[in-house]
A and B are shown apart, each in its own frame.
Chain A
Amino acid sequence: MYAFTYERPKSVEEAVNLLKKSGEAKLLAGGQTLLPAMKLRLASPGTIVDLSKVAGLSGVKRDGNDIVIGAMTKHVDVMNSAEVQKSIPALAHLVSVLGDPAVRNRGTIGGSLANNDPSADYPAAVLALNATVQTNKRKIAADDFFKGLFETALAGDEIIEAVRFPVPEKAGYEKFRNPASRFALVGVFVAKGKDGARVAVTGAGESGVFRVKEMEAALGKDFSAKAIEGIKVPAKGMIADLHGTAEYRAHLIGVLARRALAAAK
């Protein structure tokens, strides 16, 4: 780690000012991504703006037909939230297979989304559930938020405040773990909402999380595993590495989508 200035603002406004003041500043949430990168000297922010003391950024609440999760809400608190377990059990399940207890007790939803790791779990839920990312500046629809590997629509001085998930009729998440990192080798989130069915895939795409429109069309008529049986996702554009070929990942999407559908609640 290199030396850095540590700031702990009390409000979003103060945090934004700190970000603006120093071009080299980085927000710190749970630190589960940022701190390892700093320790390996892969990231070297001049200033760390710790969000832990900013009021109002964490917690889960129901707002009409939406579940709103504050950006600083820890994974473990989403997993254990009675509201999430009741309204979107697939989301509670997703968090239960994210990382390990240490990671779940520090990492946050805001940090995970801002980071947009192509193998992270949350992006699949946000995209499939057609959630809205609420920042200090605007509301960003899930379809506009993810911009490729580790890239998002966030501006340099933009802070995620909360994520708004419409409660689906039914949803399911199936993850196949990378044997080493235990991130998603492939993860598929399926959801049936008021605007129809959505299928989002993480871990597989060369440019990050993506939707499978062909499956969505079939599921719009019949939200069941059977409805997508014949649908094959092409291997083109899939990640190929030590842990799996592109063909394997493409194949897993079908398998996991069917399993997610079978388990959807």
Chain B
Amino acid sequence: MSATGIGAAVRRKEDQRFITGTGNYTSDISRPGELRAYFVRSPHAHATIKKVDTKAAEKMPGVAAVLTGADLANDKIGGLICGWAITSKDGTPMKMGAHPAIAADKVRCVGDAVAVVLAETLRQARDAAEAVEVDYGVLPSVVDPAKAAAKGAPQIHDVAPNNMIYDWHLGDKAATDAAFASAKHVTKLDIINNRLVPNAMEPRAAIAEYDQGNDALTLWNTSQNPHVARLVISAFVGMAPEHKLRVIAPDVGGGFGSKIFIYPEEVVALWAARRVKRPVKWVSDRSEAFLTDAHGRDHVTHAELAIDANNKITGLRVHTIANIGAYMSTFSSSVPTYLYATLLSGQYAIPAIYAEVDAVYTNTAPVDAYRGAGRPEATFVVERLVEVAARELGLDPAEFRRKNFVKSFPHQTPVIMTYDAGDYDASLTKAMDLIDYKNFGKRKAESEKHGKLRGIGFSTYIEACGIAPSQAVGSLGAGVGLWESAEVRVNPTGSIEILTGSHSHGQGHETTFAQLVSDRLGVPIETVSVVHGDTDKVQFGMGTYGSRSGAVGMSAIVKALDKIEAKAKKVAGYMMEASGDDIEFKDGKFTVKGTDKSVGWGDVTLNAYIAHKFTGGQLEPGLKEGAFYDPTNFTFPAGCHIAEVEIDPETGKTTIAKWVAVDDFGNIINPMIVEGQVHGGIAQGVGQAMLEGASYNSDGQLVTGSFMDYAMPRAADLPSFKVDTTVTPCPSNPLGIKGCGEAGAIASPAALINAITNAVGHENVPMPATPSTVWKAAQGGMKKAAE
């Protein structure tokens, strides 16, 4: 392994600019003559719009225009769409209500845009926004997904009676019912997967510029997938043809899924810029981010596990109500279905699974993918059920898991997925060793001596990443293919530009992708740069989410590098008067097999461009190759997290005493970056389990609208993690990579809640397990012990 090659903990190249304040984020960009946009947003969760009076606002200082939903409709700008078609049990398509970028007739959640003001300065725009008079007819609202489909609930979209978008199912109902009928033991659990606000460090932003001469638009935005944004804004919103729309996502400060989606504000910025013929800039403030970024999770689930006399799991039955919010965000429909129910087998060989999912509209912000997207929800269901079952049966939770693990591969689950490789025993055993499971009893006794409760909790998770084979997702309703592209451009002097359709917003692609190239071509890592996030530079790409950039994005680079090597060998052949087939390439040197004749990388790249040694007829000049890579399967990262907590029963304060994570990510490019991803993921999962929870009151007001009430995890809430790996290389991609971006957030909530419930002796601890909640449970638990 070279110091900069695959497997090396190379320091992140991009950090130079990030930690010296020289990054280039969307809000850092200003265009000459730009106007600032400020949105007038609904203070009501549900209301008809009777009248929008913009007259007073238009006369305010600095105001260039005040635009409304009616103007948008007049200009025939289309609405936003959800790009994944889900079909209900009865075969009917999902019921997608219209989502205009600015509401015209009705607002459906607090924060819905009703007008936009464009002015010379942000303050002028904001002042004028306050002068826009909106006459609302307030309607009753519903925010609780469990109540949305009830008789008499307020109707949010006419196309969706009872607010029901789809009632979908997966698996074999009859086989599952039969498993339950013959079960020796059934474990039942009601679970709420709490709603989360993503809170990326950088709020969303958009700048749009119209080039009148060429009738072309450019959009700078905070996107995880600028090409998909361009496609949707072009093909569905109908803003401009693709070749007349350039989308640039420069440095992006975190996404966690929330920046995958196409949002109203970027559509409005483009439309407004063309209308007023001046650049338009919009930057979300944190309050707007809380209200309008797509939220995550929000499931209400009842789940049951059937177990036979040999303590083997024989069946799993799940019913989930998924809150979609007021509108269907870009991939919202896929999250509680194909990204969720397909993972309900966990690491276990379960013969029969049946899952039903009802997706409902409510008067809340749209809900879509958030780090893990569906898989944290599935893992939480499975790992809570399995833990509770073991406790009910008086079995060691680790051994009960082990007994039911999938042990041979490939393994076909009853819910679509074919697990390709893994060793679940190995990661469980290693994690138990690392946390010193044997001596947990001693540590518990020690805590009790000090009046503290101690608990331990497992989460043996699996996820499906590297999304995804295009044919497979196409058959499941996806409107896009999920391949990735790469282009390798070698300059005459031998330096290299990698153009990728992946997008880095914290993942460190500029480092890991360069490591791959350095390793493969034997060139210094400094001579490789990674270009991404601009539709004028990279021809097309699907972007970054679903832990796909390594498994899919880098595989595309491998394919392109194969072509580069083949071509470079031919060039070297001409230089040394040998056949390209006789050239060996190793450590940056081209050698004629069986001779000591060789040329270096730089000689070859120069010759590729001067082309003196070959005529164009023999070999095309230049050294540039592209590739598209479409995976043949999902990848299946899996592993084991164990959390150990100490609880003060008097205050309910939970302290995480120990945390062990043993993950199987397949082969690893940069262990330091992987470790960082795991740390961040655990922190997010701990946030969900202990701290975070978006809460709307019954009037549809977001109670947790700022950090004063929405608790984000802080360093002091977390212990020092023990992170390790096991490796079963992924068989379906050339690098054997599985992906690591979401694992921490997927695994950790169940581990923590299992530990807390173990400590307090009560299963009924909802997320977030705040001190108040844990105290209440600990009181119950202590009472029970005393009885």
Contact = CB atoms under 8 A, between A and B. Distances in A.
Interface stretch (B531-539, B602-610, B770-778): B770-778
Q: Is the interface of A mostly helix, strand, loop or mixed?
A: loop
A40 interface: yes
A180 B287 contact: no
Interface stretch (A190-198, A202-210, A229-237, A244-252): A244-252
B703 interface: yes
Interface in A135-186: 176, 179-181, 185
Contact of A179 (B287, B650, B703, B711): B711
B651 A180 contact: no
B704 interface: yes
Nearest to A176: B651
Contacts of B691: 179-180
B709 interface: yes
Contacts of A242: 693, 695, 703-704, 709
Interface string B679-713: 00000000000110101000000011001111110
A225 interface: no
Interface in A1-38: 1-2
Contacts of A243: 709, 770, 772
A245 B709 contact: no
A180 B704 CA distance: 10
A255 interface: yes
A261 to B, nearest CB: 14
A98 B404 CA distance: 50
B707 A179 contact: no
Contact of B651 (A1, A2, A245, A255): A255
A154 to B, nearest CB: 24
Classify the secondary structure of B's interface with A.
Answer: loop
Nearest to B286: A40
Interface string B282-306: 0000010000000000000000000
Contact of B711 (A2, A176, A180): A180
Nearest to A251: B775
B772 A40 contact: no
A181 B709 contact: yes
Nearest to A252: B651
A180 B771 CA distance: 12
A242 B691 CA distance: 11
Contacts of B651: 176, 252, 255
B130 to A, nearest CB: 8
Interface residues of B, number: 25
A41 B653 CA distance: 35
A255 B708 CA distance: 24
Contacts of A185: 771
A3 to B, nearest CB: 8
Most chain A CB inside 10 Å of its own CB: which residue of B653, B690, B772: B772
Given A242-B695, A248-B772, A180 B650 contact: no
Contacts of A245: 772, 776
Contacts of B712: 180
Nearest to A119: B708
A243 B704 CA distance: 11
B393 to A, nearest CB: 33
Contacts of B652: 248
A49 B157 CA distance: 51
A152 B404 CA distance: 64
Contact of A244 (B127, B287, B770): B770
A179 B770 contact: yes
B509 to A, nearest CB: 33
Interface string B647-662: 0001111000000000
A1 B652 CA distance: 40
A242 B123 CA distance: 34
Given A242-B695, A242-B703, A248 B709 contact: no
Nearest to B648: A255
Nearest to A180: B711
A204 to B, nearest CB: 12
Contacts of B711: 179-180
Interface string B122-151: 010011000000000000000000000000
B704 A179 contact: no
B287 A181 contact: no
A40 B776 CA distance: 36
Nearest to B768: A179
A40 B771 contact: no
A173 B707 CA distance: 25
Contact of A248 (B127, B287, B707, B775): B775
A176 B771 contact: yes
B544 to A, nearest CB: 30
Contacts of B770: 179, 243-244
B70 to A, nearest CB: 27
Contacts of B695: 242
Interface string B748-787: 0000000000000000000000111001100000000000
A185 B653 CA distance: 12
A203 B653 CA distance: 17
A69 to B, nearest CB: 27
A180 B710 contact: yes
Which of A40, A179, A251 is most buried by chain B, counting CB atoms within 10 A of its CB?
A: A179
A179 B708 contact: no
A242 B712 CA distance: 14
B391 to A, nearest CB: 26
B710 A40 contact: no
A38 B50 CA distance: 31
A245 B652 CA distance: 13
Given A40-B287, A242-B695, A255-B651, A180 B707 contact: yes
A80 B690 CA distance: 33
Given A252-B651, A255-B651, A181 B707 contact: yes
Nearest to A255: B650
A180 B708 contact: yes
Nearest to A240: B772
A108 B712 CA distance: 26
A1 B122 CA distance: 11
A181 B650 CA distance: 21
Contacts of B709: 180-181, 242-243
Given A180-B704, A180-B710, A248-B772, 12 more contacts: A40-B287, A176-B651, A176-B653, A176-B771, A179-B711, A180-B708, A180-B709, A180-B711, A180-B712, A244-B770, A244-B771, A255-B651
6 contacts: A176-B651, A180-B708, A180-B712, A242-B704, A252-B651, A255-B651
Closest 9 A-B residue pairs measured CB to CB?
A180-B711, A244-B772, A179-B711, A248-B772, A181-B708, A255-B650, A180-B709, A179-B691, A242-B695
Interface of A: 1-2, 40-41, 176, 179-181, 185, 242-245, 248, 251-252, 255
